[in-house]
């Protein structure tokens, strides 16, 4: 079974690491790799990838597990 780790970066993208397949909304296979960063601010012009635009839009989110 594939295993991947997805880490929401503080005020930035999801960092995806491991064994995974990335597929777009139309079912197209986008990338096969062991690491990528996915936009979660909505400002990337190359979605689903992060291009660093979160820094310019002052995206702020620090995800933490509720305990
Ligand atoms: S999170 Fe980096 S461009 Fe959106």
The ligand 1 site (C-beta within 6 Å) comprises 12-13, 39-41, 43-44, 50-54
Judge whether residue 1 has pLDDT over 60. no
Split at pLDDT 50, 70, 90, the class of 31 is confident
Higher-confidence residue: 37 or 65? 37
Q: How far apart are alpha carbons 54 and 40 in whole angstroms? A: 8
- Closest ligand 1 atom to residue 38 Cα is 1
Where would I find the beta strands (DSSP E) of the chain?
4-8, 14-18, 22-23, 29-31, 35-38
Is-cis flag, bond preceding 48, omega within 30? yes
pLDDT of residue 2: 60
Q: Domain map of the chain by residue range?
A: 4-55
- In CATH, the architecture of 4-55 is 3-Layer(aba) Sandwich (3.40)
Which mutation among 52, 58, 62, 63 tests ligand 1's pocket best, with the greatest number of atoms within 8 A of CB?
52
Ligand 1 centre distance from Cα of residue 17 (Å): 17
């Amino acid at each position: 079974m594939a295993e991947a780790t997805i880490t929401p970066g503080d005020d930035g993208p999801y960092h995806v690491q491991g064994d995974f397949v990335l597929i777009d909304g139309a079912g197209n296979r986008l990338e096969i790799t062991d690491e990528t960063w996915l936009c979660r601010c909505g400002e990337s012009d190359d979605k689903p990838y992060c291009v660093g635009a979160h820094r310019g839009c002052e995206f702020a989110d620090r995800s933490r597990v509720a305990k």
